[in-house]
Amino acid sequence: MITGIDQKRLDLAGTREFTRLGEGPKRRARLAAYTLEVLRELYADAARSTGAPGTGVALAVVGSLARRDGGPLCDFDLVLLHDGRSISADDLNALADALWYPLWDNGIRLDHSLRTPKECRSVASGDLAATTGLLDIEPVAGDALLVAQVRQGIAHDWRANARKRLPELAESVRVRHERHGDLSADLEPDLKEAAGGLRDMAVLRALAGAWLADRPHGALDTAYDRLLDVRDALHVVTGRGRDRLARQDQDAVAALLGEPDADELLTSVVQAGRVVSHALTDTMRRAGQSQRARTLRTGPRRPVLRPLGHGLYLHDGEVVLGSRDVHRRGALVLLRAAGAAASRGVPIAPSTLHNLTADLPGIATPWPAEIRDAFVDLLASGPGLVSVWETLDLTGVIGGWLPEWAAVRGRPQRSPVHRFTVDRHLIETVVQAAAIRDRVRRPDLLLIAALLHDIGKIAGVHDHAVEGAPVAANVARRMGFDAADVATLELLVREHLTIVDLATRRDPHDPQTVKALIAAVGEEPDVLALLAALTEADAVAAGPKAWTSWRAGLVTTLVEHARAALEDRHRVLPAEEGALDPVIAQQVRGGAPYVLVLPTPSGAQIEISDTDRPGLFAASAALLASFGMTVRSARIRTTDGVAHNTWHVEAPLADLPSVDQLVRGLRQPGQTRPRRQPRAIPGAGQPPSRATVVPDASADALVLEVRTADRAGLLGDLGETFAAHGLAVRSAHVATYAGQSLDTFYVTTGTGELVPPPEVARIIAALIDACDGAAVS
Please, which pLDDT band fits residue 653 given cuts at 50, 70 and 90?
low
The pLDDT, as a whole number, for residue 211 is: 80
Sheet holding 318-321, edge to edge: 306-309, 312-315, 318-321
Least Cα distance to 696 among 561, 563, 573 occurs for 573
The pLDDT, as a whole number, for residue 674 is: 43
Q: What is the mean pLDDT of residues 575-582?
A: 60
The pLDDT, as a whole number, for residue 17 is: 65
DSSP 354-397: HHHHTTPPPPPSSPPHHHHHHHHHHHTT-TTHHHHHHHHHHHTH
* Beta-carbon count within 10 A of 655 CB: 8
Q: Is the pLDDT at 678 greater than 50, yes or no? A: no
Please report how the helices 525-542 and 498-505 are oriented relative to each other, as an axis angle in degrees rounded to 10. Answer: 80
Mean pLDDT in the chain?
Answer: 85
Least Cα distance to 348 among 391, 293, 399 occurs for 391
The pLDDT, as a whole number, for residue 340 is: 93
Sorted by sequence, the CB contacts under 8 Å of residue 85 that are 6+ apart come out as 56
The pLDDT, as a whole number, for residue 677 is: 43
Written as one letter, the residue type at 305 is: L
In a 13 Å sphere around the CA of 362, the CA atoms on its Cβ side amount to 10
Q: Is the pLDDT at 323 greater than 90, yes or no? A: no
| Range from 70-74, 372-376, 496-500, 638-642 carrying the lowest mean pLDDT | 638-642
Residue 68 region by backbone torsions, left for phi larger than 0, else alpha for psi between -120 and 50, else beta: left
Least Cα distance to 46 among 3, 97, 87 occurs for 97
Q: How far apart are CA 99 and CA 43, in angstroms?
A: 7
| Range from 5-19, 415-429, 589-603, 725-739 carrying the lowest mean pLDDT | 5-19
DSSP 408-444: TTT-----TT--S-HHHHHHHHHHHHHHTGGGSS-HH
| CA atoms 362, 364, 370, 375: torsion sign | positive
Q: How far apart are CA 577 and CA 700, in angstroms?
A: 13
Q: What is the mean pLDDT of residues 324-337?
A: 82
DSSP element (H, E) containing 142? strand 138-142
Q: Is the pLDDT at 418 greater than 50, yes or no? A: yes
Q: Is the pLDDT at 405 greater than 70, yes or no? A: yes
Pairing type for strands 110-115 and 76-82 reads parallel
Name beta bridge partners: 648. Answer: 605, 633
Q: What CATH number has the domain spanning 164-296? A: 1.20.120.330
* pLDDT tens-place string over residues 206-243: 888 888 778 888 899 999 999 999 999 999 999 888 89
Sorted by sequence, the CB contacts under 8 Å of residue 158 that are 6+ apart come out as 124, 131, 135, 165, 206, 209, 210
The pLDDT, as a whole number, for residue 685 is: 53
The pLDDT, as a whole number, for residue 19 is: 64
Domains of the chain by residue range: 5-160, 164-296, 402-565, 583-771
Q: How far apart are CA 594 and CA 663, in angstroms?
A: 8
Q: Is the pLDDT at 683 greater than 60, yes or no? A: no
Written as one letter, the residue type at 642 is: V
Q: What is the mean pLDDT of residues 69-77?
A: 87
Q: What is the mean pLDDT of residues 1-7?
A: 68
Please, which pLDDT band fits residue 672 given cuts at 50, 70 and 90?
very low
* pLDDT tens-place string over residues 692-716: 988 877 788 888 989 888 877 788 8
Q: Is the pLDDT at 676 greater than 50, yes or no? A: no
Q: Is residue 465 within 8 Å of 496, Cβ to Cβ? A: yes
Q: What percent of the chain has pLDDT over 90?
A: 40
Q: Is the pLDDT at 22 greater than 80, yes or no? A: no
Q: Which CATH number is correct for 402-565, 3.10.450, 1.10.3470, 1.10.3210, 1.20.5?
A: 1.10.3210
Question: Could you tell me the pTM of the whole model?
Answer: 0.80
402-565 matches 5-160 in CATH topology:
no
Pairing type for strands 318-321 and 594-600 reads unpaired
Q: Which residue has the higher pLDDT, 684 or 148?
A: 148
Please, which pLDDT band fits residue 447 given cuts at 50, 70 and 90?
very high
CATH topology assigned to domain 5-160: Beta Polymerase; domain 2 (3.30.460)
Please, which pLDDT band fits residue 426 given cuts at 50, 70 and 90?
very high
Q: What is the mean pLDDT of residues 286-295?
A: 71
The pLDDT, as a whole number, for residue 605 is: 87
* Beta-carbon count within 10 A of 241 CB: 18
Least Cα distance to 335 among 375, 300, 363 occurs for 375
The pLDDT, as a whole number, for residue 571 is: 46
Q: What is the mean pLDDT of residues 58-76?
A: 89
Please, which pLDDT band fits residue 300 given cuts at 50, 70 and 90?
low
